[in-house]
């Protein structure tokens, strides 16, 4: 028998097979059930047909989760085979953006005789940094940019590195300068980043750019690539931001903080949770948009996600997996299966935010070149 209740959200008997009813946001508008994320209904002898018909009438999506005794799909339920959320295909979106950039580069060459140029400075020989730098240069070549590179030994002096930065500041062929982080400990990251001309600060890490990002009525010359990529994903997926609750998990200068400022600029109501937040899960579970950038593998589980939320997973962590060829697999800061069962849209890891970061770096460099072509400059620094 299918037992429904208008007073309780969890009537279930775990030893029986269950039906999950995912409520549409505006269903049952006249009862207290509105907003309850998931109702579980016990059924035994009587078929679930009655309940499912009722559920359809009330405009729900009824999904049978487990077990072979599924009611027939003809009465409006579909067997659960994978996550409920649609995937946000960051790779495909990044490819589209790269094609758009390549087209504009071709036009720019014709109109202004100008080729965007990106300079990448690498200090030392960290394997991961070398990989990133290589893929950035490759991406430049693919869209028709010129790329310039300076590789310096790990023991280079701060002064020498500064000289390299300043030579690129002065070089009119260069529209973006990227110093690959992290730098060796004897070099002040702050001093190097501050030395990059804000006209060429394609990483967007200069405090003048961050300040303009925070202030109403101002526009930064460049927005940091990864958070910019997150917003681009939301916008290309037509996710409404204005008026929505957003939760940013993590408050790094590189992702969390600028992501929060970007959402804020688009009229979201933003809460940034961090290691000192005692009830991060509860706060996150109220958010329509979640950007996870805490750097902790699979910290954000399904419990953190409001049904129907949009989840952007910035994390990329190696997790031991003896069944995988390399002995590990890449996971995000979000526990994918659990979150995907609750979210309406979610980025996979890999293939979500990752490909967007380089696409945004190219976009920033193109913007720098565009401003140079038009003779615009911040005129400072």
User: Using CB under 8 A, which of 276, 325, 326, 374 touches a second copy?
Assistant: 276
Q: Are 46 and 1 in contact (CB under 8 A)?
A: yes
Dist. CA 196–CA 201, nearest whole Å: 6
**Residue 272 interacting with a second copy (CB under 8 A):** yes
Residue 270 binds a second copy, judged by CB under 8 A: yes
Size of the site for a second copy (CB under 8 A): 34
Q: Which of residues 247-266 bind a second copy (CB under 8 A)?
A: 251-253, 257, 261, 264
Angle, to 10 degrees, between the axis of helix 127-143 and the axis of helix 354-373? Answer: 50
Q: Is 216 in the site for a second copy (CB under 8 A)?
A: yes
Q: Smaller CB distance to a second copy: residue 200 or 206?
A: 206
Overall residue count recorded for the chain in this entry: 381
| Residue 209 engages a second copy in binding (rule: CB under 8 A) | yes
Q: Which of 277, 281, 301, 317 binds a second copy (CB under 8 A)?
A: 277
Q: Which range touches a second copy (CB under 8 A), out of 6-14, 45-53, 129-137, 206-214?
A: 206-214
Q: Residue 359: CB partners within 8 Å, gap ≥ 6?
A: 93, 94, 97, 98, 101, 139, 229, 232
Q: What is the DSSP letter of 70?
A: P
Strand, helix or coil for residue 42: strand
* Residues taking part in catalysis: 136, 180, 203
Structure-token pair, residue 109: 């060459």
Q: Would you count residue 319 as binding a second copy (CB under 8 A)?
A: no
CB 204 to a second copy: min, Å: 11
Name the β-bridge partners of 148.
119
Instruction: Give the whole-angstrom CA distance, residue 343 versus residue 356.
Output: 21
SS3 62: strand
Of 206, 228, 306, 342, which one interacts with a second copy (CB under 8 A)?
206
Pick the closer one to a second copy by CB: 21 or 248: 248
The contact pattern for a second copy, residues 111-150, with x = CB under 8 A and - = no contact, is: ----------------------------------------
Could you tell me if 335 and 301 are in contact, meaning their C-beta atoms sit under 8 angstroms apart? yes
Q: Does 212 bind a second copy (CB under 8 A)?
A: yes
- Looking at the Cβ atoms of 77 and 255, the one nearer to a second copy is 255
Q: What is the three-class DSSP state of 319?
A: strand
207 in contact with a second copy (CB under 8 A): yes
Q: Which stretch binds a second copy (CB under 8 A): 38-46, 144-152, 167-175, 209-217?
A: 209-217
Separation of alpha carbons 117 and 146, rounded Å: 5
Give dist(CA 26, CA 339) in Å, integer.
21
Select the span of 33-41, 67-75, 172-180, 274-282 touching a second copy (CB under 8 A): 274-282
Query: 11 or 215: whose CB is closer to a second copy?
Result: 215
Taking the C-alpha atoms of residue 289 and residue 231, their distance in angstroms, rounded to an integer, is 11
Please pick, from the candidates 267, 303, 321, 376, the single residue that binds a second copy as defined by CB under 8 A: 267
The alpha carbons of the chain give a radius of gyration, in whole angstroms, of 25
- What residues make contact with a second copy under the rule CB under 8 A? 190, 206-218, 242-243, 251-253, 257, 261, 264, 267, 269-274, 276-278, 280, 283
């Amino acid at each position: 028998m299918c037992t429904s209740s208008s007073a309780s959200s969890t009537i279930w008997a775990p030893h029986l097979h269950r039906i999950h009813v995912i409520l549409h946001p505006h269903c049952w508008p006249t009862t207290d059930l509105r907003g309850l994320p998931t109702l579980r209904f016990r059924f035994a002898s009587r078929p679930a047909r009655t309940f499912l018909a009722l559920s359809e009438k009330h405009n729900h999506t009824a999904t049978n989760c487990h077990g072979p005794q599924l009611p027939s799909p003809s009465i409006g339920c579909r067997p659960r085979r994978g996550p409920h959320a649609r995937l946000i295909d960051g790779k495909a979106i990044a490819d589209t953006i790269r094609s758009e950039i390549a087209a504009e580069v071709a036009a720019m060459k014709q109109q202004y005789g100008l080729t965007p140029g990106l300079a990448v400075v690498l200090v030392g020989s960290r394997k991961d940094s070398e990989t990133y730098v290589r893929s950035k240069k490759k991406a430049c070549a693919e869209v028709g940019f010129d790329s310039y590179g300076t590789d310096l030994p790990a023991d280079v002096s701060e002064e020498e590195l500064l000289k390299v930065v300043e030579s690129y500041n002065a070089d009119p062929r260069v529209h973006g300068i990227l110093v690959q982080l992290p730098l060796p400990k004897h070099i002040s990251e702050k001093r190097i980043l501050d030395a990059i001309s804000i006209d060429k600060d394609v990483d967007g890490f200069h405090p003048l750019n961050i300040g303009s990002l925070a202030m109403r009525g101002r526009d930064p010359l460049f927005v940091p690539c990864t958070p910019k990529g997150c917003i681009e994903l939301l916008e290309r997926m037509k996710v409404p931001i204005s008026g929505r609750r957003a939760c940013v998990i993590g408050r790094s200068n590189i992702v969390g903080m600028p992501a929060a400022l970007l959402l804020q600029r688009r009229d979201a109501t933003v809460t940034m949770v961090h290691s000192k937040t005692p009830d991060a899960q509860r706060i996150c579970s109220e958010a329509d948009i979640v950007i996870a950038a805490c750097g902790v593998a699979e910290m954000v589980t399904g419990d953190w996600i409001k049904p129907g939320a949009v989840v952007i997973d910035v994390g990329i962590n190696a997790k031991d997996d003896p069944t995988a060829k390399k002995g590990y697999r890449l996971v995000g800061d979000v526990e994918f299966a659990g979150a995907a069962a609750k979210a309406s849209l979610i980025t996979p890891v890999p293939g979500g935010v990752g490909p967007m970061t380089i696409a945004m770096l190219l976009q920033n460099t193109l913007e720098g070149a565009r401003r140079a072509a038009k003779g615009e400059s911040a005129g400072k620094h």
